[in-house]
Amino acid sequence: MTRTVKDYIRTIVDFPHEGILFRDVTTLFADPRGFRMCVDQLLAPYAGMRIDKVAGLEARGFILGGAVAHQLSTGFIPIRKKGKLPGATIAESYKLEYGEATVEVHDDALQPGEKVLLVDDLLATGGTAEAGIRLIERLGAQVVGCAFVVDLPDLGGRKRLESLGMDVHALCTFEGL
């Protein structure tokens, strides 16, 4: 039987809170065949497209984004939680279920007109991804696609990003929270 990316992802019940089914991609990353399959499938829809940089969302997006950037022979841009980058940054805040969060990128990370692929492990509500898109666009670059390993469609992130005109690619979906 041929395995899919989804087969490598374990579910942890009641993490980080009761009632949550946490989709753990670390088991995917730990398996050489699964990880290679994942990276190849993340970049496949963008083969032949001009991509100047890959941007990864903290933290698992760094692992995936770095590997995708390597395969595309392009640079990697980390989008980090507030206060983690050493140079001058721009910030974008977004709402969480309870409260607010902020992500940042170096203010010289991208040049106007550059084409960027945004990568992360999981698409839930889309808040972090939308904040990352806004940062990229504020620097004058263009997001050519948003690639995720897991989409949780019940949380509406895909619809949110598509309403912004984004191309969204996910390797698998899990229903529910």
Catalytic residues: 60, 97
Q: Is position 20 within any domain?
A: no
**Stretch among 112-116, 147-151, 173-177 having the lowest mean pLDDT:** 173-177
Q: Is position 115 within any domain?
A: yes
- Answer yes or no: pTM beyond 0.75: yes
Tokens, residue 49: 């497209």
Confidence band for 98, pLDDT divided at 50, 70 and 90: confident
Between CA 149 and CA 20, with CA 160 as vertex, the angle to 5 degrees is 55
Q: Answer yes or no: is pLDDT of 152 > 80.
A: yes
- Per the CB < 8 A criterion, the answer to whether 120 and 56 are in contact is yes
Q: Is position 10 within any domain?
A: no
pLDDT in tens, 46-72: 999 999 999 999 999 999 999 999 999
Confidence band for 177, pLDDT divided at 50, 70 and 90: low
CA nearest to 145, candidates 46, 11, 52: 46
Number of domains making up the chain: 1
Q: Is position 27 within any domain?
A: no
Q: Answer yes or no: is pLDDT of 126 > 90.
A: yes
Q: Is position 28 within any domain?
A: no
Confidence band for 96, pLDDT divided at 50, 70 and 90: confident
